[in-house]
């Protein structure tokens, strides 16, 4: 499923035009992205949580040359599914 498919389902379920539903989907993802970029945890009851995790700088190796390289610190977005979603997937 992609954003267009999701917008189609929302437009059908709520009597919106496909263009309006696409705007809603885009704004939801933009809000989640903005919250994550500012370091906030995004909690969606019944679905799950998005958490920003800090990854510290570290040394790594170039696999082709074996040379030591520095890997910069970064932030990653993790997702933990809610129990409701896990149950839906497994039952």
Domain range summary for the chain, segments of one domain joined by +: 3-90
Closest of 2, 48, 43 to residue 26, by C-alpha: 2
What confidence score (pLDDT) does residue 9 get?
96
DSSP run (H or E) holding 87: helix 83-90
Distances (CA, A) of 2 to 6, 15, 22, 26, 58: 6, 20, 11, 12, 35
pLDDT digits (tens, 9 = 90+) for 25-55: 999 999 999 999 999 999 999 999 999 999 9
Q: Give the model's confidence band at 14: pLDDT under 50 very low, under 70 low, under 90 confident, else very high.
A: very high
Domain 3-90 fold: HU Protein; Chain A (4.10.520)
What rounded mean pLDDT belongs to the chain?
Answer: 95
| Model confidence, pTM | 0.78
């Amino acid at each position: 499923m992609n954003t267009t498919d999701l917008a189609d389902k929302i437009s059908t379920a709520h009597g919106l035009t496909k263009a309006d539903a696409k705007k809603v989907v885009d704004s939801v993802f933009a809000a989640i992205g903005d919250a994550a970029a500012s370091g906030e945890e995004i909690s969606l009851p019944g679905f799950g949580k998005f958490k920003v995790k800090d990854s510290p700088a570290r040394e790594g190796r170039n696999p082709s040359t074996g040379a030591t390289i520095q890997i910069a610190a970064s932030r990653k977005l993790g997702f933990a599914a809610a129990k409701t979603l896990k149950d839906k997937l497994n039952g």
